[in-house]
Amino acid sequence: MCVFNYAVAILADPGWVPSAYMPDIEDSKVSIHEIKRKGGDLRYCQKCSHFKPPRAHHCRICKSCILRMDHHCVWINNCVGHANYKAFFVFVVYAVIACFYSLVLLVGSLNIDSRINEQQRDSFRIVYVVSGLFLLPFSVALSVLLGWHIYLILQNKTTIEQYHEGVRTLCLAEKGGTVYQHPYDLGTYENLLSVLGPNIFCWICPTTRHIGDGLHFQTSYDTIPAVSK
């Protein structure tokens, strides 16, 4: 499953922005529109020559705009975006499980090692040391990565939204004396379902039938009931 999800994350389309995409500012179903920091115009990519949907960003490595872009991952030689984010996340989950499973096997092998002769024990000990040197830091690094993306999923954020846009928006909110609330945060449970899907039995599989078109996202404003006058 680890190798399978790794292959899916590499080969899957991260979600390209349609060249004919045009934001409809008069659509009452769209509660927010993302604009440029300077000028207040709708976001437009000069390199791709089209408008950017909400949460989309241009990747200078892929040379294209990616829907709900999280980051460009060198380990899969692909962008992690709207269409392959779940496959990437599930791959990291299986990779962490595989690392700790390998560590358990490594420790268990020490008991078997004590029952063999001294010459074989020395040769196996070298293998154990080399394996441990690879597995321990690899397990820690992947566990940190997994924890980071669990946090992002529960907040319904991407790495770009958390690191770049989030920090800037928080600073602007503090200067204006307001409290910033991420517009795509629907609550922990709804955030989880938006990424992993409504069927809990499909959470361990890289299914994507539930993710939508990536051009429109539900916001917290959509769930606020209108106040009657």
Q: Which positions ≥6 away from 127 have C-beta within 8 Å?
A: none
Q: Which neighbouring-strand residues pair with 66?
A: 16, 57
Q: Is 180 helix (H, G, I), strand (E, B) or coil?
A: coil
Q: Which positions ≥6 away from 12 have C-beta within 8 Å?
A: 78, 83, 84, 87, 206
The rounded distance, in Å, linking the Cα atoms of 19 and 2 is 34
Distances (CA, A) of 140 to 99, 137, 145, 153: 9, 5, 9, 20
- Give catalytic residues, as residue numbers: 73
> Are β-strands 78-80 and 71-73 bridged in parallel, bridged antiparallel, or unpaired?
antiparallel
